[in-house]
Structure formats: C-alpha cells, structure tokens
Amino acid sequence: MNRYLYDGTADGLLSAIAWILEEEPCPEQVALAERKDTLFEEGFFIGTDATQAEDLLFRLRKHAPDAASTLYSFMLAEKEGMESSLLHYISLVFTHGDKVNGYLTHPAVRDIVAVAKKAGRELHRMKGLLRFEKLRDGAYLAKMEPDHNIIHPLAWHFSRRLRAQHWFLYDVRRRIAARWNQGTLQFGTIEQFTAPALSEDEKKVQALWQAFFKTIAIPDRKNPRLQKSNMPMKYWKYLTEKQEE
C-alpha cells in the first residue's frame, strides 16, 4: 500500500488529495497522513499547492454540493488522523457524486459523515445558544468555547441576523474573534482579552430573561435530564439564564 505525507495544514491536505486522485490509479488503496518528521517515518511527501487545493474545492462544489458542504463541516472539526478516510471519501464523491452521503455502509463515508454531522450539529446549536451582552459603548459581545472551530460560519449567520448592530464574537479557547460593524465582517486573533464594561441596563435585561426562563417551564414537569441532553452543561458557562445556578 502506498503511503503519502503532507504538512499538516488544511491546504496541504486538500492539495495532497488532489495530487493523489490525479496520479494514483486506485486512490482507495492509498494511505495519507500528516508528516511528523519522526526518524522511521515512511511515505512520500507531497508539497502544498494552494491553487491545487482551491481547484479541488471548486470542482467538488460544482460536482457535488452536498458532499462539498460535508467536507466543509468536516474541516471545522480539526480532526487528526482521518486523512486516509477523507481521501477515500473524496475519491468516492468523484465517482458517485452527491449520493455518496447515503453510502453509510462504507466505513470512510460513515466516519467522515459522522464527524461532519457532529460539527454541523454544534454549529446549529450555537446559533441558538450564543448569548450577547451589551457593552457600555453600545456594541454587543458574545463569548463561547465550542468544541469545533465554527466562528466563521457562525459569524456569517449573525451578520445576516443582527445586521443593524455592532457586535463581536470571541472564541475564548482558540483566541479568535469576529467583528461586525456597519456591513463589514472581520476576523482576528486576540492575545490579551480584557473584559469590557457592560452597559447600564444590561443586568436589568438579563434579569428579565432569567425570569422568563424560570416561569415558562411547567413546574410539575421538571425534566433536568431532557434539558441537559438538549443543552449539554459544557455550554452553560456563557448562558445568561444559567448564571444564577
């Protein structure tokens, strides 16, 4: 079995896959892994070529839009050690097109789709669970610590929803921030984060939301298990309604 290596970047991964699909008669028999530069590492290194990577994405989007969005979600997961599965998955996409996502009896398809689904699910969840706080200068800030690197699609979602506001998203663990102001969306990293002061009425609005949250539940139908399975506790840290508990 032929074994290939790439440099560990997303572009590197995609260009390596593009190269293998081009050169290998049987891509499904091939393994691909990140180069670790260990002494006995075996494999042929494929250099990164950003235009190759872009070209692959372009062809994928044209050929199989659903699979392209699966790939996109998969990349948000920043998963290591699944390069070979991804290679086999993409190779299947080019032979079967979009219906490949239904080929769940194939191990590579199952693994890639499962990871992509999980990332997609967290993205969907965060669209609801993200909480903004109003700052003294009138801008809004939302902090989060998601498992997947979802700040880009999340910011895009809010750029359409909260168009009229000036806001920031901040991924606390990855130290990445997004900023939306007057129609432009920017991304950057933050080295030192200092918590800005809240606007005067912020605590009042939060208290209203907490009161609503409490009263809307039917008292004798308490179901903490269902609540936690829908809204896992790892997200509670930044949830306004869960701050008092």
Partner 1 sequence: MSALLRSFFLHYISLMDILAKLQILSGAARYDASCVSSGSKREGPACGTGNTSSSGICHSWADDGRCISLLKILLSNDCQYDCAYCVNRSSNFVERASFTAREVVDLTLDFYRRNYIEGLFLSSAVMGSPDKTMERMVRVAETLRTEEQFGGYIHLKIIPGSSSELVRKAGLYADRISVNIELPSQASLQRLAPQKHKEAILAPMALIGREIASSLVERKTSRLAPRFAPAGQSTQMIIGASPENDFQILRLSEGLYKKMKLKRVYYSAYMPVSDDNRLPVLAAPPLLREHRLYQADWLLRFYGFSAEEILSDDAPNLDESFDPKSAWALRHPEFFPVEINRADYGTLLRVPGIGVTSAKRIIAARRFSAITPEGMKKIGVVMKRAKYFIICSGRSFEKTDRPAALLRQQLLIGDSSEPVLPTQLVLPGIFS
Site residues for partner 1 per CB under 8 A: 96, 99, 101-106, 110, 124, 127-134, 140, 142, 158, 161-162, 164-165, 205, 207-209, 211-218, 221-227, 230-231, 239-241
Q: How far is the CB of 226 from partner 1 (least distance, A)?
A: 3
Q: How far is the CB of 27 from partner 1 (least distance, A)?
A: 18
The nearer residue to partner 1, 33 or 109, going by C-beta atoms, is 109
The nearer residue to partner 1, 63 or 124, going by C-beta atoms, is 124
The nearer residue to partner 1, 50 or 114, going by C-beta atoms, is 114
Q: What does the CA dihedral 124, 149, 185, 175 come to, rounded to 10 degrees?
A: 130
Helix, strand, or coil (residue 89): helix
Residues counted in the chain:
245
Structure tokens at 29: 């028999």
Give the Cα-Cα-Cα angle 153, 159, 165 (nearest 5 degrees): 145
The nearer residue to partner 1, 188 or 224, going by C-beta atoms, is 224
Q: How far is the CB of 127 from partner 1 (least distance, A)?
A: 5
Q: How far is the CB of 130 from partner 1 (least distance, A)?
A: 5
Note whether 144 and 170 are within 8 A (CB).
Answer: yes
Note whether 46 and 72 are within 8 A (CB).
Answer: no
In DSSP notation, 186-211 reads EEEE-SS--PPPBPTTHHHHHHHHHH
CB atoms < 10 A from the CB of 124, how many?
12
Q: How far is the CB of 8 from partner 1 (least distance, A)?
A: 31
The nearer residue to partner 1, 43 or 97, going by C-beta atoms, is 97
